Amino acid sequence: MLTSHELFGFMPATAAADILETAFTNDRDLYRATLNAIAQARKVRPVFLEKQPRKERHVGMIAYLSRPGMELAAGTLLRGWLLKVHKGLLADFLDGIGVAHKDGVVDDLPETIDDAKLAAAVDTVLAKHPAEVVKVYLHSFNTMNELQWKNLDALLLNDARLQF
């Protein structure tokens, strides 16, 4: 089970760069908040980062997002990216496990989930969505919620399709 900052360390650099580029293009507030958090951690002004070429800036931002002290910023960036860009994936997974939601957002999660439903939902989302995005989502889902399902933990540890 990977935390948000660990996900940035393990996911392919192209996937992490895509997350930042998507935020830069589609959600300036989220991008700005992430940039400000990294600037604060680096003890520089945000303008210092903004003056760097975007590709170079994103490489540095990814390196910082993979640090333990950046868990909040990494988690916020991942949640924003998933909710804005991958609502279909969220909805498909939650529908597959039988959890009521509104556009991929859940108010109350059950304490446990049936193994067969979980396995079927994972198979469905892997068949319909890019594997890298599914891996990021499932790891994020399990660490960002108060309830962590032991069967999802086991699946993330043992299913080669869900490992980085």
| Per-residue pLDDT tens over the stretch 93-150 | 999 999 999 888 888 889 899 999 999 999 999 999 999 999 999 999 988 877 789 9
Sign of CA dihedral 20, 23, 26, 31: negative
| Rounded Cα gap, residues 11 and 144, in angstroms | 17
- Report the 10 Å Cβ neighbour count for 151: 15
Domain extents in the chain: 4-85, 87-162
Q: Which of 15, 19, 40, 132 is nearest to 83 (CA)?
A: 19
What's the pLDDT tens digit per position in 71-100? 999 999 999 999 999 999 999 999 999 999
Q: Which two tokens stand for residue 16?
A: 């992490």
Does the pLDDT value for residue 50 go beyond 90? Answer: yes
Q: Assess whether pLDDT exceeds 90 at residue 1.
A: no
* Distance separating alpha carbons of residues 98 and 81, to the nearest angstrom: 23
pLDDT at position 4 is 94
pTM value is 0.88
Q: Can you tell me whether residue 103 is helix, strand or coil?
A: coil
**The residue to which tokens 């959600």 are assigned:** 27
